[in-house]
Chain A
Amino acid sequence: MTEPRFALGDRVRARPVDPPHHSRLPRYARGHVGEVVEVQGMWPLADEKAQGELNPRVEAVYTVRFPASALWGQPAEHWVHVELWESYLEVAK
């Protein structure tokens, strides 16, 4: 993986997954749609590092902005920025 798949302004969904290993995809974000507000560069995937992989996959990390009302329901009105590796995300339809 060499080029970031997503760009600023893209709408992305955090995958609704429940992996059997360590992950840095916070549970509260899973399945929710947000917007890419920053592309942070390429970083080794935490999930593979945690499993002792010596050459972990390197992926783009994005700052994704979620409206709190989507995460927690009304009347929350703040924003939550979460930093997510590319494989945690899919295109939001």
Chain B
Amino acid sequence: MSEHHSGSETAVRVRRLEERLIGAGLTSDEQLDGILGQVLSGSPANGARVVARAWVDPAFRERLLDDANAALDELGLSMSTGPVPLRLTVVPNTATTHNVLVCTLCSCYPIGLLGPSPSWYKSEAYRARVVREPRAVLSEFGLTLPAHTEIVVHDTSAESRHLVLPMRPPGTSELTESELSALVTRNGLIGTASV
């Protein structure tokens, strides 16, 4: 991994820590590179593919909500960004319910489906406020929900990861699956945007 590192103080400290762990026989450069590669290969495009498939294929949507890990397999995607594949739960938005994700304790995030998380997701302000006043936080993201929409905040506090399944936007019945997936944004998959 040393070739990825600049001479910054943090990089030097990271490398020293890696060397200690490797020296202790706890990991290897190959294993660390493999994990980093998986983290960096994640992208919101993966989550968007899942959503578009669920929009066009109601049977897939049902399987996705029932057992998301198995449904990911069908698309050649997985939650294996670490030594153990993480459990995925997909939470669907409806006309009456809107879901939004957070990890108040640290920064748990579905990296395999969304890639590295945005910095605001890890900020103390987002983590502290969205569990307490989600409607206000969402409106700061530009998402103003109808007053009757119920909001569910999912605090990723244990071993599952989540993905929001946004509602299919109106007027998109003519679009292909790949055109639909292009409509889906990272924030839509976290719940801080409608799509």
Q: Write the residues of chain A forming the contact surface with B, with a CB cutoff of 8 angstroms.
A: 24-26, 28, 38, 40-41, 43, 46, 61, 63, 65, 68, 71-72, 76-85
Q: What CA separation (Å) do A82 and B103 show in the bound complex?
A: 10
Quick check: B151 and A78 within 8 Å, CB to CB? yes
Segment with Cβ contacts to A, from B34-42, B44-52, B155-163, B176-184: B155-163
Query: Closest CB of chain B to A4's CB: distance in Å?
Result: 14
Determine chain A's interface SS by DSSP, over half rule: strand
Quick check: B152 and A26 within 8 Å, CB to CB? no
Contacts of B133 in A (CB 8 A): 76
Quick check: A80 and B131 within 8 Å, CB to CB? yes
Q: Is B66 an interface residue (CB 8 A)?
A: no
Instruction: Please name the residue on chain A nearest to B149 by beta carbon.
Output: A78
Q: Write the residues of chain B forming the contact surface with A, with a CB cutoff of 8 angstroms.
A: 87, 89, 104-105, 131-135, 150-160
Query: Closest CB of chain A to B59's CB: distance in Å?
Result: 22
Q: Given A26-B104, A41-B87, answer yes or no on A82-B160 (Cβ-Cβ < 8 Å).
A: no
Query: Closest CB of chain B to A31's CB: distance in Å?
Result: 16
> What are 14 inter-chain pairs, A to B, with CB distance below 8 A?
A25-B157, A26-B157, A40-B160, A46-B158, A65-B152, A68-B153, A71-B131, A72-B132, A78-B134, A79-B152, A79-B153, A83-B158, A83-B160, A84-B157
Query: Closest CB of chain B to A32's CB: distance in Å?
Result: 12
Instruction: List the 5 closest A-B pairs by CB distance, nearest first.
Output: A83-B158, A78-B151, A43-B159, A83-B157, A79-B152
Query: Closest CB of chain A to B157's CB: distance in Å?
Result: 5
Q: What CA separation (Å) do A7 and B89 show in the bound complex?
A: 18
